[in-house]
Every structure is written in C-alpha cells, then in structure tokens.
A = this chain, B = another copy of it.
Amino acid sequence: MAERVRFPTRLRPHAKTHKCSQVAALQIEAGAIGVTTATVWEAAALARAGIGDILIANEIVGPAKIARAVEAGSAARLTVAVDAIDNAKDLSAALADADSEAGVLVDVDIGMGRCGVRSAAEALEVANAVSQLPNLRFDGVMGFEGHCSLEPRRDKRTRLTRAALAKLLETAEHIRANGIPVETISAGGTGTFDLTGTDPNVTELQAGSYAFMDTAHAAVVSGFDFALTVLATVISRHGSTVVLDVGKKTLGLETPAPIIPTTPSSIRYVAEEHTVVDLEGVQSMKVGQQIEVVPSYCPVTVNLHDAYLVVDDDVVVDVWPLVARGAGWSSGDAIR
C-alpha cells in the first residue's frame, strides 16, 4: 500500500485493523510514516511498544482517556482529532501539565453523520482556537469517507468519494484563506485507497484493512492477499453439511459471508460458536479436520483474539500479541 499511494500522499495505516506492534513495525519498515488508531489504549500500547508516530483519529473525551493520550504522547509523536473547542481546551491543559504537546487535526464530517464539525465555518473556529491554545499544534484536517469505502459499484464509489473529499478540501481551503496554514489533510480507507491515496491534495491515507484483507474488502479492491484466517475444526458432519467450531465470537461479523478458500463451499450461517457450511460436490472433509476461514471484516475479528499465530510456509514461526486489544485493563488503571 505504501507503494500504491501517490506523492504527496503518504500512508498512515489504521492500526485498529491489527492492534499489534509487530505488524505496525512492518508497515513502517515498508514505507508508512506512522500509524492511525481509533482508541487511546491502542495509541498508548503501540507507543509503549516503540511505534514512534501516532494519529488518534477520534475525539478523546474525559479525564481518563485524555490521560492515556498524554501517556502515548510522552513516548511517541502524537496527533489527535478534535471537533469542539472545549475538548481542545481540555487536551491543551492536560498536555501543559505534562509538559508535552500534540498535533491537532480538525475532524470534519464528510458524510458519516457522527463525529466531526459540520461546516467549514465551524472548522475555522476550532482551528483558530487550537492555534491559540498552548501545547497544541494545529496541523490540518481529517475526514473519513466510511460511507463510500464499501460501496460495491465502482462508479458510485468514485462519485461519493470525490464528493466527500471535495468537502474536506474546501474546508482546508477555507482555513488557509483565513491565514492558518494547513499542512496535513488526512482521510481514506482501504476501499477508497485508489481515489483518496492518489488525490494531489491529500497528504495522509488512513487505510488499514489492506494488510489482512477480508471478504468485505475483497469485494471492492484487488491486489492484496488474504493474510488473516481463523483456524477452524470440523466438529460435526451430516451429508454435505459440516459444522465448524468458529462463530461470531471468533470470526466476528456474519455478513458479508466468510469464505473457505481451500474448499468449494458456501456458508449457510454463522452462529455464536458455530459456522454451518454446505460443501459443494463430493469432498472427503472429516470430523477433526482443520481448515482456515477468511473472516468477513478483519478489524472486528482481531478485536476478539489475544494473539496471532504467525505462519510461514505452514510452520508457526512466532506468536504476536494483540497488545492494543481491550481497554488497557491489564495495567489496572482503568479500574481506579
């Protein structure tokens, strides 16, 4: 992916997809400028593990989370997203107390209708406030065209993405026109990488799922292999129907359907602890046999597990912990 984005866009892959410092380090080695996270615990855990440049692409609200972000900022170059002046003030105060600083991207709603300022005027107000607050460095704007990235029709995906990016770029221009430099324009996901990652105005692409892929992303982009599978065991067979010991609690989502690349088959349903598979043609699959299942949506899958078994040429060569899974309970401070 680092080779597919086009200058001036650089890759800042989303680590919510793997929550693993070893994967993040490989991405940076391959050309990424740092990582993106969704949660403060992802940022703190990856910073502790040596990842040096982190964007928390989400609003950080409340003393406990702000303390975590400051912790991440003590170990890594930190950038955060902000959509409200009061929140910027809270961040500024906590960073000042710690004698630390963070970059800020103003979060712009470009179509998801959740976080993010709703207009260029509002973005300018927040950018102005951030520029004047101590220990904050206004870096630019970010948005997420999540409503476009899994749109199956290529022409519609292109149209929606260009409209979303236009809103982000207009916002950046409005801020610049009012005398505030905008260095960073950050957006994107795997489903829109070839649009957002090649836009001459976008400086950072937040795509993440490309690293592992899954059936949702394989439906819209090509050129990235399936790297993440869940190992299943056949626990029951009745005619051409087999039952696997994986389900929503291990695979994650049910739609789009997971697939079994090695076995002509269709998934009838994914239950809590079982997946029911209809085999195509005559197959010798037996109870006890193990097969690999490609999940529906990898970020939700990895959130269910504690470690990766790293396989090279059918041999398990390493175990990588998902250090950024959960909310940081293991350190005890979430329970204070």
Contact = CB atoms under 8 A, between A and B. Distances in A.
A245 B271 CA distance: 26
Interface string A58-69: 111110010000
Interface stretch (A97-105, A114-122, A220-228): A114-122
B306 A234 contact: no
B233 A39 contact: no
A319 B299 contact: no
B114 A61 contact: no
* Number of copies of this chain that the complex holds: 2
Interface string A1-37: 0000000000000001000000000000000000000
Contacts of A65: 233, 245
A274 B306 contact: no
A248 B253 CA distance: 9
A17 to B, nearest CB: 10
Listed residue (A114, A273, A300, A326) with the most chain B CB atoms within 10 angstroms of its CB: A114
A304 B306 contact: no
Contacts of A243: 59, 114-115
A276 B329 contact: no
A38 interface: yes
A293 interface: no
Interface stretch (A79-87, A130-138, A161-169): A79-87
A303 interface: yes
A236 B112 CA distance: 13
Interface of A: 16, 38-39, 58-62, 65, 83-84, 86-87, 109, 112-116, 118, 146, 233-236, 238, 241, 243, 245, 248-249, 253, 268, 271-274, 276, 287-288, 290, 299-300, 303-307, 309, 319, 326-327, 329-330, 335
The 9 closest A-B pairs by CB, nearest first: A115-B236, A59-B235, A61-B235, A114-B243, A38-B273, A249-B303, A306-B329, A114-B276, A114-B274
